[in-house]
A and B are shown apart, each in its own frame.
Chain A
């Protein structure tokens, strides 16, 4: 737990009343996961041309389509994609719950198809749905999983208390999980997956359905676990979550890997510049064309009532853009300027937003910035 102490030193008295060891996720983006605990550049997961096809009588679905990548030891690796993009299928293959249709995947040099037992010994999994027994107490749940994970009886009680403390659930140890809030359940599930100190921790949508406060607490917990040199694979469709936690991010869309890099490098994929967002009631295609012609404007896209303009040195271009709106008598409801976020990169790469698998298609598909 030496790595933990490193975190307890800095900030947040607020954490003490929850029993939560303080790690401020806001302090992390500059040194996102993996960097903080130090990756050692050895691949702990290798995936080669992995595919998974689901077939039934009427339909064939390619959930994972020829995906190859590596995850480094000690990093927090983010798998991002909209609902149904294939993230969970990928995780289920890596955690030996599904076998691949073709291709190979190695976890710590063990082949998922040949050595599933070996892999199960070194991984911890926190599934998307709660899998704790809600009728048992928090302590009993941890004890049960400790036994399944072969934690020796001599150290199990201490380990359970350590984890309960880590999750801030000491005072609820003997209460049935049924009485827990969503955030408390999630924190219990995450520490439960960590009971045998796995080399790799898989977290499938760890903060789905949680309120902002609970999400922050779960993030703190994930950073703490990573600080214990645990490699963490995290799937999410929350951009802020990936930005706060992940060292490297893989975008998955329709079963394909469409980009994989650090956030910094991913940002470079979008043409340099700022994003100016203008809210309007309606947009005139002729005005859109006029804006495109302004110097330093790289791209223009219109999604419903929002015009998004990518421009080099945005603040200087604004007057010219406003003039166009004036000329075409289009009333402006709102205006903002910002640097591109991970979501913008995702939209740039896939042509759609993250919150829905189908909806939110922007005009044209994919790469509507030039």
Chain B
């Protein structure tokens, strides 16, 4: 009993001696509650949709005017309105915006109310959450207006299951998780074991040490991301449309890898204990992944959480990969993601070099 008590006392003393770890232990579940709860359970609102009047006639019909108005004013309990309607004069322009990801759906209203004049609904099926909501909203509005036109739904990217929607996000998660845990902890372990100090008494240049560490970490992250990419294609049965898509996927993965590796290098240089690093990185990983849109569309998150997505590189990575793999979109759509990832990676390389260099002094 005495020895059990001694062990108890020793363990507890160690627990109390590290306030940082105590804080992180309490902080994590709370963050799960706040981030996970909000990122997953939020009510989706402000879905951007385009409404267009079928021609002829060349002037707006009563159905078109009232349907657009009704659609734009669908209220939800305890949440903002469901749809943000943009009126298009030209069906082709509306579809182009749908293809470019500016809107989530196009609703084409026919000239008259009759059973053989269907309302055509074009939806971005790469997003598996919003299309059913838009479809339900259209049906509801039509019922309210007493119109009995059938609704023809055109999933412009075919049938995409949630597994496929989520699978693409997992590629980014693989890169972030493998680098943050694998790479960062290995780096701290090397420092603890004096291996980095061993470098410092050799003529090797400081810049070579940093370059070596970042490039090996990048390759490791790339292998993880690339492997998961292929596994994802196999499991979810997605086929890439062109060689250009493949090239763009590789490019996105590579830029993300450089950025994340540099971030981890700078992070790992600030921590001397593996346990502390792991708890902080687990927290970071949670926030980045939850707000990346991999699980659930960013559109369903509360405003404050959406601000995190703006600075979350993983969000841009997931968006870019989803655009390429599921929507076969090109640089015109993912350009902004690439720029964001490049800014992130460049900033992280600089930060990584500066902070790691400081540990070498």
Contact = CB atoms under 8 A, between A and B. Distances in A.
Contacts of A95: 201
Nearest to B205: A117
- Which of A96, A97, A148 has the most chain B CB within a 10 Å cutoff? A148
B202 A131 contact: no
A135 B194 CA distance: 14
B345 to A, nearest CB: 27
Contact of A131 (B197, B204, B205): B197
A142 interface: no
Nearest to B199: A148
Contacts of B197: 97, 127, 131
- 9 shortest interchain CB distances as A-B pairs: A131-B198, A125-B201, A148-B202, A131-B194, A120-B203, A121-B203, A148-B204, A129-B194, A95-B201
B193 A131 contact: yes
B201 A123 contact: yes
6 contacts: A96-B200, A96-B201, A123-B201, A127-B194, A148-B203, A149-B202
B195 interface: yes
A127 B203 CA distance: 16
B358 to A, nearest CB: 14
A122 to B, nearest CB: 9
A149 B194 contact: no
A133 B195 contact: yes
Nearest to B208: A148
A150 interface: yes
Contacts of B194: 127, 129-131
A149 B202 CA distance: 6
A203 B269 CA distance: 28
B142 to A, nearest CB: 67
B54 to A, nearest CB: 68
B114 to A, nearest CB: 75
B202 A145 contact: yes
Nearest to B361: A99
- Which of B190, B195, B201, B202 has the most chain A CB within a 10 Å cutoff? B201
A117 B206 CA distance: 10
Contacts of A133: 190, 193, 195
A121 B199 CA distance: 12
Contacts, number: 41
A96 B200 CA distance: 8
Contacts of A132: 198
Interface string B182-225: 00000000100111011111111100000000000000000000
Interface in B6-60: none
Contacts of A121: 203
Dominant secondary structure of chain A at its interface with chain B: loop
Contacts of A149: 202-203
A97 B203 contact: no
Contact of B201 (A120, A130, A150): A120
Given A95-B201, A132-B198, 7 more contacts: A96-B200, A117-B205, A123-B201, A131-B195, A134-B193, A145-B202, A148-B204
Interface in A128-170: 129-134, 145, 148-150
Nearest to A121: B203
B204 to A, nearest CB: 5
Contact of A150 (B193, B195, B200, B203): B203
A203 B193 CA distance: 18
Contact of A97 (B190, B195, B201, B204): B201
Nearest to B206: A117
A190 to B, nearest CB: 13
Nearest to B204: A148
Contacts of A131: 193-195, 197-198
Contacts of B199: 148
Contacts of B193: 129-131, 133-134
Contact of B203 (A117, A129, A130): A117
Contacts of B200: 96-97
Contacts of A130: 193-194
A134 B189 CA distance: 12
A330 B204 CA distance: 66
A20 B154 CA distance: 80
B213 to A, nearest CB: 13
Contacts of A96: 200-201
A125 B200 CA distance: 10
A112 to B, nearest CB: 12
Contacts of B204: 148
Contacts of A148: 199, 202-204
Contacts of B190: 133
Interface in B75-119: none
Interface in A19-56: none
A200 to B, nearest CB: 11
A142 to B, nearest CB: 12
Contacts of B203: 117, 120-121, 148-150
A279 to B, nearest CB: 37
Contacts of B201: 95-97, 120, 123, 125, 127
Interface in B267-296: none
A123 B201 CA distance: 8
Nearest to B201: A125
